[in-house]
Structure 1
């Protein structure tokens, strides 16, 4: 009986320790806009901002970003870039790849001069999508 109790206690502590090191950041989108390349390879204009309420998770334990839109988008993080900071922005960038193995960059930008408004940019070869995001309650501040 004592060994079972010790075993259960061990699993409880192991689970608590593991959970304390997990870093999952959750965001909710408030809107999005899209920028696309035309047939000549030139960038067009940003689309009008559309309302959107989508959950996005940044899971540093599993090295992935998941966007829970109508079609779930799963991006593998290949590399965490050094944080860039200037007087206007704080930029967290991630080298990612999609299901097709195509490399691209996802960035979370905190706009210091806009009351710390956050945006998530998905910078792919022919399209850039920007989401305005807010932290979900209970989130680690990022």
Structure 2
């Protein structure tokens, strides 16, 4: 009976630790850029980056990505893509739907050879946004 109590306490501890790792991940943005398709369907050059100090939250437990800009952008995660990790980059893709029910793909990229510079891309059919981000510790 003593062993069962110890096992129960151990399993309870393991579940408690596992739940603590399901915390939302927060990033801060430093700047944003965008591009859009021209009349021929080709992508224009990216705009110059402009300062953007907003909070980005990735909540895997709620399947939600939120960008707290002047107009809050919420993205429901519909599917988690396959993570690509190599010597140059770490890419974490998501298939999402925004709060206006438009489909988009969101990708978080860590560029390892650029001092682990991080970016989040929000890709729609006609327009793309990229935020430079860093961990909000």
Measured against the shorter chain, the TM-score band is 0.7 to 0.9
Please list every run of 5 or more consecutive structure 2 residues that lacks an aligned counterpart in the other structure. Answer: 1-11
1:16-50 alpha-carbon deviations (Å, 9 max, x no partner): 93851533000000111101111222111100011
Q: Distance in 1 between matches of 2:74 and 2:99?
A: 7
- Tell me the TM-score normalized by structure 1: 0.80
Matches within 5 A, 1:110-125: 110-125=110-125
- Matched residue of 2:46: which SS? coil
Look up the match of 2:98: 98
Residue ranges of structure 1 left out of the alignment (5+ in a row)? 1-12, 138-142
| C-alpha distance after superposition, 1:72-130 (max 9, x if no partner) | 00000011111112321100011101133322210000001001010000011111100
After TM superposition, the score normalised by the length of structure 2 is: 0.83
CA distance in 1, matches of 2:100, 2:53: 26
Q: Distance in 1 between matches of 2:110 and 2:131?
A: 12
CA RMSD of aligned residues (A): 1.7
The 5 Å alignment of 1:55-94 reads: 55-94=55-94
CA distance in 2, matches of 1:132, 1:62: 24
Of the structure 1 ranges 45-54 and 33-42, higher mean CA displacement relative to structure 2 is found in: 33-42
Q: Which runs of 4+ in 1 moved over 4 A?
A: none
